[in-house]
């Protein structure tokens, strides 16, 4: 499978509310260094900037970020601002609020509803924008998200936020949020080697309601924030050999196969990996191949 001329257009499109995006986007967390957040080796600044500029050249118009994506020397939002501003009209930048990190990198307590405006304004400042395209409320173990989501709905009414999403939720939270304001996207952990009945149900509910489902750690699998996994089962490796691609590309193709409303946001700080990820948007698995991967997933569960 050649990666020379493949762009994100090959992955298809989906509308986040009134904002069309290609289904293959970019997660910004890896831009900050070799390990997530404050630990590990910080990224080389020019390489991270190159990843962002190359992403746009390859047609990526959906970037997922957060103000709490920073390492010892790098901030994802600052990198995005430096590399891409003034922003193209078709670029959609999604961010998330709820978790809180101190400047030394340590995690603080989850934000109260009355603190969410400050979180939104911090993202606005770092990104150099007057409004945010899409803001997810990342649930931090709350039983109810009504008060927090209601606070974001007020910011949407005020014009600081265009569209709202929710993250790390259970199916009942989707109904709770939709009773307050429109939800255009749900972002949950979801991967080929990580069966999750809640995530499967959310994927189905989103498809029925025209809501985007945006998995995170779809390539990383069990290792999560530590980086892309190399623990691929033999079915994934066999399909990768058959298609002449990497196992990570098979995982991305499987993710996109879950439905036209599913968006992929693989993260990377490596321009070569970026090109491979984007090229995976053109890879179409057959029904038989998807069923083979699904059978292995059921065995994992």
Shortest CA distance to 97 belongs to which of 106, 79, 110? 110
What six digits make up the tokens of 21?
């995006």
Task: Reply yes or no on whether 69 is catalytic.
Answer: yes
Give the alpha-carbon dihedral of 126, 129, 135, 139, to 10 degrees.
Answer: 20
Q: What distance in Å separates the CA atoms of residue 278 and residue 257, rounded to the nearest whole number?
A: 15
CA dist 245 and 171 (Å) reads 35
Question: Is the CB of residue 98 less than 8 Å from the CB of residue 140?
Answer: yes
Phi and psi angles of residue 44, each rounded to the nearest 5 degrees, phi first:
-80, 125
Is residue 194 within 8 A of residue 175, CB to CB? The reply is no
Sheet holding 132-138, edge to edge: 26-27, 62-64, 92-97, 132-138, 161-167, 185-187, 212-213
E strand or H helix that includes residue 210: none
Q: Where are the alpha helices (DSSP H) in 67-136?
A: 76-84, 116-127
Q: Quick one: which of 38, 125, 126 has its CA closest to 74?
A: 38
- Both structure tokens of 124: 């606005």
SS3 call for 95: strand
What letter does residue 34 receive in the DSSP assignment? S
Q: Which residue out of 69, 136, 190, 217 is catalytically annotated?
A: 69
Residues catalogued as catalytic: 69
């Amino acid at each position: 499978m050649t990666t020379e001329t493949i762009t994100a257009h090959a992955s298809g499109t989906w509308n986040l509310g009134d904002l069309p995006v290609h289904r293959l986007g970019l997660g910004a967390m890896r831009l900050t260094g070799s390990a997530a957040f404050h630990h590990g080796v910080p990224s080389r600044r020019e390489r991270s900037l190159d990843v962002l500029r190359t992403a746009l050249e390859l047609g990526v118009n959906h970037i997922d970020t957060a103000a709490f994506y920073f390492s010892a020397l790098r901030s994802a939002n600052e990198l995005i601002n430096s590399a891409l501003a003034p922003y193209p009209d078709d670029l959609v930048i999604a961010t998330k609020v709820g978790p809180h990190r101190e400047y030394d990198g340590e995690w603080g307590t989850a934000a109260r509803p009355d603190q969410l405006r400050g979180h939104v304004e911090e993202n606005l400042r770092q990104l150099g924008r007057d409004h945010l395209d899409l803001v997810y409320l990342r649930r931090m173990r709350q039983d109810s998200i009504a008060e927090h989501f209601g606070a974001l709905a007020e910011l949407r009414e005020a014009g600081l936020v265009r569209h709202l999403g929710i993250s790390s939720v259970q199916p009942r939270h989707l109904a709770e949020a939709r009773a307050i304001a429109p939800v255009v996207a749900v972002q949950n952990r979801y991967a080929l080697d990580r069966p999750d009945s809640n995530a499967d149900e959310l994927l189905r509910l989103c498809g029925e309601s025209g809501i985007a489902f945006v998995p995170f750690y779809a390539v990383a699998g069990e290792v999560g924030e530590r980086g892309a996994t190399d623990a691929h089962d033999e079915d994934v490796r066999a399909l990768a050999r058959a298609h002449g691609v990497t196992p990570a590309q098979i995982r991305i193709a499987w993710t996109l196969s879950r439905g036209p409303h599913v968006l992929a946001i693989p993260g990377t700080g490596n321009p070569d990996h970026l090109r491979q990820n984007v090229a995976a948007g053109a890879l179409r698995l057959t029904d038989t191949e998807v069923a083979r991967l699904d059978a292995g997933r059921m065995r994992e569960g």
